[in-house]
Amino acid sequence: MVHKVQLRTSKHDQMIDITDQVRSIITQNEIAEGIALVYCPHTTAAITINENADPDVVHDMLMTLNKVYPWTCPDYRHGEGNSAAHLKASTIGCSQLIPITNGNLLLGTWQGIYFCEFDGPRQRSFYLKLQKD
């Protein structure tokens, strides 16, 4: 089964914690053991797992990505003008695969799943593919 989740980003660069949305879909589908694929169908957004306790981690990640991939660069060729967003999206990656056990995501205490926006604000979506054992 594949579930599509819509979301609206509100900033140009943003990391949105989607862990609770993913958990609730797993609960609704009564999956005790299996695997969850969280997949982003966009070329300027990404999915990652990282700390969800200290918001400064998100700040530092976005700040550092902006240093590595500045928005403007005279050598970029892509005519749409958003090369930095494409570079960040491929660096972070478009999916995460997470085990499900005892009806819950097998995440560490401080881990959350993030939808990463790199060219917002926009209407976005992600897919959740659930596979039962």
- Asked if 69 is part of the footprint of Zn ion (rule: CB under 5 A), the reply reads no
**Window 27-66: contact mask with Zn ion (x via CB under 5 A):** ----------------------------------------
- Token pair 């928005």: residue: 71
Binding-residue total with Zn ion (CB under 5 A): 2
Contact 50, 112 (CB under 8 A): yes
Stretch that binds Zn ion, among 16-24, 68-76, 77-85, 110-118 (CB under 5 A): 77-85
Give the burial class of 2: count Cβ atoms within 10 A of its Cβ; 0-12 exposed, 13-18 middle, 19 or more buried: exposed
Contact 38, 18 (CB under 8 A): yes
Out of 20, 54, 80, 133, the only residue in the binding site for Zn ion (CB under 5 A) is 80
Residue 42 or 52 having the CB closest to Zn ion: 42
Closest approach of Zn ion to the CB of residue 45, in Å: 12
Residues in Cβ contact with 126 at an 8 Å cutoff, skipping those fewer than 6 apart: 4, 5, 7, 18, 38, 39, 40, 41, 47, 115
Stretch that binds Zn ion, among 8-16, 27-35, 60-68, 82-90 (CB under 5 A): 82-90
> Binding residues for Zn ion, per CB under 5 A?
80, 82
